[in-house]
Structure 1
Amino acid sequence: MSDLLTQKENTLVQHPDGSYIFGAIPDMPKFGLPGGKIYLRIGIHRRANSGFGVVHIWEAHRADLLKHGCQTVDGVAAIVAKMIVPGAQIYCEFKEQRCGNRVAVLRTSMGTLILEPRHERATGFGYFVVTWYPQKRAHGTLVGQIPRAPSNQK
């Protein structure tokens, strides 16, 4: 059994580079969207369309992840990291959730990540990965793109 599956659901997952930050969403004042760092948590899978984080992504989309070379739950963080790259497009449907507007990060070769804005005591404001799916077209309005990371960000 993976060590990830023994952790609490809100535990942050490490990026393959060893940090806990997977990238950043830039400030987009034109759309009323604040910037923030991107985090991935262990998460939980309750049922179809209900859950968040690594466990939810693995349980809900295992067959599709296998097609992308992700053989175990431990490989999910690497898939997420490969999607949050400079130039990846950011979309927003502007459907207000209880925490604010969710955004989608689209990398056409790999699918779409859904991120939720949250303010956490330990990290402050940031975006947390809710799920991934293989659909290569995001819904909503194109609001920006992932910026190049400053060398001191991670």
Structure 2
Amino acid sequence: MSTSPVDRIPDGPTRRARAFIGPHGVRVAVKPVDFEAGREPTAVPYAFMVGPAGEFGIQGYAWAPLHATAEGRVESVALPYDASPSAKQVTRLVGDEVDGVDLSGHEPPREVRGLADTWWRGPDSLVALYTGEATAMASSRGRVAPVHSGLDDRRPRGNGDADA
């Protein structure tokens, strides 16, 4: 295995994803697969994998598909980088606190292609629901919901805004 800076971003990712990959991506060459899945994790008890239908997920005690595609994973990693500077507040809910998240009036950004890990855009907020680690590791404490609130209606929208 070898690593190097990303010198060419492949066609396909949205503009938001390409903007994230440029400064944050590292090309990891492993025969026969070559892709970046986010920041390198340290000491996690599961493995990042691509499933037989192309879904991106983690394998712990159980398989948990996080996104329908690896591109969806890149979008999900790029979204908080886009949202955080514009948010008036970011609140992190953990475990049973996640049950209190009200998603009325929210829509999922289609480019994330969320399965166990999803994002939801509302009138002035962006909410992530991360449940994949809880599924893979059989632990409800693994459920996390970062809530980016106080966003204006321009950033980030999702559902195509990543190319706008």
Fold agreement, TM-score > 0.5: no
- Bigger fraction of residues in helix: 2
Rg (Cα) greater in structure? 2
TM-score, structure 2 length as denominator? 0.30
TM-score, structure 1 length as denominator? 0.31
